[in-house]
Chain A
Amino acid sequence: MNDQHICTCNSQSMATMADQALDALGDPEQAAAREGDTSLQARRRFLQGLGLLGAAGLAATSSVGQAAMSEVQASAQKLGQGNGLSFMDAMGDFFQQHYTRMTDEEMQDALHRIERKAKRKFGVDITCEDVKPMPGTYFGYALNLSKCRGYRECVYGCIRENNQGRDSQMQYIRVLEMPNGDHNLEHSNHYYDPATVPTPGKWYLPVQCQQCDNPPCVKACPVEATWKDKDGIVVIDYNWCIGCRMCMAACPYWARHFNWTEPQIAPEDINPVTAYMGNRPRPKGVVEKCHWCTQRTRKGRQPACMEACPTGARVFGNLLDPNSDIRWILEHKIVWRLKEDLGTEPKFWYFTDEARARI
């Protein structure tokens, strides 16, 4: 919401912008106090000022921004949290650094902002954590197509876990239904909805982010808001994403999705255990995708889709562990990867029961 203010202000002329900004920012504390008095107009004017400041390039000299922020922060603490007090957090978000450049303190602030925003938006107390990759892990995923019955349980396990907007067509996993003897994705249908599945003569291919080892989406991002983390998971800094959707165009798996609308989630459906690189509530206007449940897998738990799968078709594990299930599959079963010819090196393998083990 606040981003919108900032954006709309950018079209005004530079001179008046700067004047207005300084005017509005004259006394941040006072402005904050006015905000506390629930004067919507004052709040809007203040925000507008801040936005103009940024637009006029004054905020680029971070000293001004930080000075303003620290004062505003103090007043924000006084005025309490979760009571419509979003301007402060909007400021914090606006000046937030890139993930890799944030200090621990700044990270903590960012996490607290996320928690406060969730409280404001959904009325739910969530915890947000910056879960780092585990040393010595490089993740891989294998999916047994003989076992996939097209129940779509993984899709909904994922939605529940990852706080995806319920009405925004945001689903990280698509289960494609294809006729037997056919592997042409253009013949696939992911809107299948018969009375029961599996339908005779059809097979099912769940597709999600393949966590490519050579990810084209990362190359496409103009602002480095997405990158391959140390454990091989391609993550997105939703605060840094500008929503240009270049990565979506680059992804050959249709794994990335754009938040066209503000994600709508009922408060009781919110998963309160979140991670910065994972399932924290996302704003409108950013791209998101499957991240193999970093909030779970980086703590040793299974991804939600694997846990939700009733047939046990999904196998997640550490590729560096020679005794892991996934390594056994890769070394003994006949596996294939989706669109492997593109050279994206997906870390998502498909296999079947029927293929003889290579022993």
Chain B
Amino acid sequence: MRFHFRLIGGLLVAASFFAASFAVSENVTSPTAAPPMPEAAAPPAGAAVSPPAPQQAESPPAPAAAAPAETAAAPPTQQPAAVPPAEAAVASPDPAAAPAEAAVQPNPADTAPGVGAAVSDAMLQAGYGVFQGYPGQQPPMVLPRKDKLSFYPCAQCHANMPVNTTPRPIMIHATAGLVDGKLDHGQQRFWCLTCHSPTDRNNLQTVAGVKVDFNDAWKVCGQCHSARQRDWYYGAHGKRVGNWKGDVERYNCTECHNPHHPPFRQQKPQPKPPVRSGLGEMPHEGEGEGHPTIWEKHQDRLQPEEGNKK
């Protein structure tokens, strides 16, 4: 039940955030992205849409940040791309929990603090609205990441720098895997401040602006990659370390995937098997250029005359 309540909460926070940002940026003209929002948020959400948003704007006390929530929101062009994944991540990942059901019949006692009352800053800080895990399954112990980040804490530098929310090539973070200063992830639909908090540099953030610890990076990734996240959570994706028995300890997503360049590396393979002296390699069909596929074998059928003759 607690989980359902979180789901709904997350939905509401996400919905309210985007509703607010839509309202602020007037030049949003995407009709495709807007309609799902009110539907996704259950009827009681109407009351809750507004309260968190102002809080969002007020909450960051950061002095240097010349970026209130509306500027922190990505430029208009990014929003249509960002909305569906966020929604999907919050709503769809757990099949067992049946989010639709949960939204239809909210337990008033459970949902009261989330829906009726405004989501407090403290609740957001505690990860309110961020996916925490699936019911009935202990979350895996995730190996910490912070101690492996070469420049962490990021605020060491960024505390003294004004926040520039304009997407632009960032050349200085070349070691982070940026290609020509650009993020090689999401096909240019988002950039640093989508996942990095502009106000609290030592933390990540969800699309809804809720802070997430670097050690919990998987919660940020799962917003879009919810299917992978589910597989990872249950052990079908990602690397388990330590023992097969006992407590489950897994690598974080970012341990293997560079978040700024997620594809797995190309690598020289280990040496091929040796062949005993006097023997040759075991032949296989189509050695050399490889076995032709069936469509390669029958390319000639693309020629109209020959094809007719046959």
Instruction: Give every chain A residue within 8 A of B242 (Cβ-Cβ).
Output: 302
A329 pairs with B235, CB closer than 8 A: yes
Please choose the segment from A43-51, A68-76, A104-112, A189-197 that sits at the chain B interface, where 4 or more of its residues have CB less than 8 A away.
Answer: A189-197
Residue among B96, B267, B275 with the highest chain A CB neighbour number at 10 A: B267
B235 pairs with A315, CB closer than 8 A: yes
Bound Cα distance A317, B267 (Å): 28
For chain B, the count of residues having a C-beta within 8 Å of the partner chain is 44
Name B238's closest neighbour in chain A (CB-CB). Answer: A312
A297 pairs with B273, CB closer than 8 A: no
Knowing A174-B273, A318-B244 are in contact, say whether A325-B235 is a contact too (CB < 8 A): yes
Set B248, B281, B291: member contacting A325, Cβ < 8 A: B248
B240 pairs with A151, CB closer than 8 A: no
Q: Contact flags (1/0) for A162-198 with B, using CB distance below 8 Å?
A: 0000011101001000011110101111111111111
Instruction: Give every chain B residue within 8 A of A202 (Cβ-Cβ).
Output: 290
Give min CB distance, B293 to chain A, whole Å: 6
Instruction: Give every chain A residue within 8 A of B231 (Cβ-Cβ).
Output: 333, 353, 357
Name A188's closest neighbour in chain B (CB-CB). Answer: B284
Say yes or no: is A351 at the interface (Cβ < 8 Å to chain B): yes
Knowing A152-B269, A168-B276, A353-B228 are in contact, say whether A302-B244 is a contact too (CB < 8 A): yes
Instruction: Give every chain A residue within 8 A of B150 (Cβ-Cβ).
Output: none
For chain A, the count of residues having a C-beta within 8 Å of the partner chain is 62
Give min CB distance, B185 to chain A, whole Å: 18
Bound Cα distance A10, B20 (Å): 92
Instruction: Give every chain A residue within 8 A of B245 (Cβ-Cβ).
Output: 300, 318
Say yes or no: is A144 at the interface (Cβ < 8 Å to chain B): yes
Instruction: Give every chain B residue within 8 A of A306 (Cβ-Cβ).
Output: 240, 244
Knowing A186-B284, A187-B285 are in contact, say whether A151-B237 is a contact too (CB < 8 A): no
Set A180, A194, A312, A332: member contacting B269, Cβ < 8 A: A194
Bound Cα distance A305, B210 (Å): 39
A333 pairs with B236, CB closer than 8 A: yes
Say yes or no: is A359 at the interface (Cβ < 8 Å to chain B): yes
Say yes or no: is A311 at the interface (Cβ < 8 Å to chain B): yes
Bound Cα distance A328, B138 (Å): 13
Say yes or no: is A238 at the interface (Cβ < 8 Å to chain B): no
Give min CB distance, A136 to chain B, whole Å: 11
Q: Restricting to A131-179, which residues have a CB under 8 Å from any CB of B?
A: 142, 144, 147, 149-153, 155-156, 167-169, 171, 174, 179
A325 pairs with B240, CB closer than 8 A: yes
Give min CB distance, B282 to chain A, whole Å: 8
B240 pairs with A312, CB closer than 8 A: yes
Say yes or no: is A339 at the interface (Cβ < 8 Å to chain B): no
Q: Contact flags (1/0) for A255-287 with B, using CB distance below 8 Å?
A: 000001000000000000000000000000000
Q: Contact flags (1/0) for A300-314 with B, using CB distance below 8 Å?
A: 111100100111100
Q: Restricting to A194-241, which residues have a CB under 8 Å from any CB of B?
A: 194-198, 201-202
Say yes or no: is B256 at the interface (Cβ < 8 Å to chain A): yes
Knowing A156-B270, A189-B287, A193-B269 are in contact, say whether A300-B237 is a contact too (CB < 8 A): no
Bound Cα distance A329, B231 (Å): 8
Set B95, B270, B273: member contacting A191, Cβ < 8 A: B273
A332 pairs with B273, CB closer than 8 A: no
Name B227's closest neighbour in chain A (CB-CB). Answer: A357
Set A188, A196, A311: member contacting B256, Cβ < 8 A: A311
Name B266's closest neighbour in chain A (CB-CB). Answer: A196
Instruction: Give every chain A residue within 8 A of B248 (Cβ-Cβ).
Output: 325
B236 pairs with A325, CB closer than 8 A: yes
Bound Cα distance A316, B248 (Å): 12
Give min CB distance, A134 to chain B, whole Å: 8
Set B96, B243, B246, B273: member contacting A190, Cβ < 8 A: B273
Q: Contact flags (1/0) for B192-213 with A, using CB distance below 8 Å?
A: 0000000000000000000000
A179 pairs with B276, CB closer than 8 A: no
Give min CB distance, B46 to chain A, whole Å: 31
Bound Cα distance A181, B273 (Å): 25
Set A151, A179, A333, A359: member contacting B290, Cβ < 8 A: A179
B236 pairs with A351, CB closer than 8 A: yes
B269 pairs with A179, CB closer than 8 A: no
A353 pairs with B273, CB closer than 8 A: no
B243 pairs with A301, CB closer than 8 A: yes
A311 pairs with B264, CB closer than 8 A: yes
Q: Contact flags (1/0) for B220-257 with A, using CB distance below 8 Å?
A: 00000001101100111111101111101001000010
A196 pairs with B244, CB closer than 8 A: no
Name A139's closest neighbour in chain B (CB-CB). Answer: B244
Knowing A147-B237, A351-B236, A359-B96 are in contact, say whether A187-B291 is a contact too (CB < 8 A): yes
Q: Contact flags (1/0) for A323-359 with B, using CB distance below 8 Å?
A: 1111011001100000000000000000101000101
Instruction: Give every chain A residue within 8 A of B304 (Cβ-Cβ).
Output: none
Knowing A152-B269, A193-B269, A318-B245 are in contact, say whether A359-B251 is a contact too (CB < 8 A): no
Q: Restricting to B262-298, which residues have a CB under 8 Å from any CB of A?
A: 264, 266-276, 281-282, 284-287, 290-291, 293-294
Instruction: Give every chain A residue within 8 A of B290 (Cβ-Cβ).
Output: 179, 201-202
Instruction: Give every chain B residue within 8 A of A192 (Cβ-Cβ).
Output: 269, 272
A332 pairs with B267, CB closer than 8 A: no
Set A182, A191, A302, A311: member contacting B272, Cβ < 8 A: A191
B276 pairs with A182, CB closer than 8 A: no
Instruction: Give every chain B residue within 8 A of A147 (Cβ-Cβ).
Output: 237
Knowing A149-B264, A315-B235 are in contact, say whether A182-B291 is a contact too (CB < 8 A): yes
A197 pairs with B236, CB closer than 8 A: no
A195 pairs with B285, CB closer than 8 A: no
B237 pairs with A353, CB closer than 8 A: yes
Cross-chain pairs A/B with CB under 8 angstroms, 8 sampled: A169-B273, A171-B273, A306-B244, A312-B251, A325-B234, A325-B236, A325-B240, A357-B230
Beyond A169-B274, A300-B244, A328-B234, list 16 extra A-B contacts (CB 8 Å): A147-B237, A152-B270, A153-B270, A155-B273, A156-B270, A169-B273, A181-B293, A184-B285, A190-B272, A197-B268, A202-B290, A309-B239, A317-B235, A325-B235, A329-B234, A353-B231
